Amino acid sequence: MNARLLAAFVLCLVLAIPVVAQSGGVPVVPAAEALEHPAQPRPLSPFAQTVVDAQKALIEAFEKGDAAYVKNAIADDFVVIGPNGDSGTKAELLEYVRPSEHKGPEPIMYDFRVVQLSDSAAVVTYKLATPHGGLDRYQHLSDTWVKMGDQWKLKFEQTTLNLWSAHDL
C-alpha cells in the first residue's frame, strides 16, 4: 500500500480531535452573503449523534495511540481509498496507530452530515481544511459505519481532494 495513502488517512484522523465536535458550519470559501449571515449548525438527530460520537471516539483513540480500541472499532473487512485512489486495509492502517506528536494549528472539520442507510448503517461526510499548505489542504471525507451487535464499526472511508478550494486561494 502506498505510504502516502496511509499518511493521509492517519493525518485526517489524528489531527482532527479538537475540532471533530463541530457539526455544520461555514464553507471554506464563503460567499459574501454567507459572511453576513453564517449558517447555523443544524442539530443532529439522536441516531446521527451516535454515529458522530463513534467517529470522535475513533479519532481520539488514534490520537492516544490506543491500538486495541482502533482495532475493535474498525471492521475486519475495512477498506480505505485515499486521495490518490490507492486502497488500504485494516491491518495496514493499524501499523500507523501511535500517539500523535503533532504540534501547531489544528485542522478544521466542518459541514458534518449523516445519511442514515438503515437502522444499522450510515454514511458520515465532512470536510477537512488543514492549516499546512499543499493540494491536500482541503479534503472531503466519507465514512461508512455499520452497527455490528451493539457496536458501531468503521467499514469504509474515502478521501477526496477539493482542488477547487485549494486553487481558489
| pLDDT single digits (tens) 30-50 | 444 444 444 556 788 999 999
Residues 110 and 30: beta-carbon distance below 8 Å: no
All structural domains of the chain: 3-27+42-167 (3.10.450.50)
The pLDDT of residue 96 is 83
Give the C-alpha separation, 88 to 162, whole Å. Answer: 21
∠ CA(147), CA(123), CA(73), 5° rounding?
40
pLDDT (tens digit, 9 = 90+) per residue, 49-92?
A: 999 889 888 878 887 889 999 999 999 999 999 888 899 999 99
| pLDDT of 16 above 60 | no
- The overall average pLDDT reported for the chain is 76
Taking alpha carbons only, the member of 98, 101, 164 closest to residue 137 is: 164
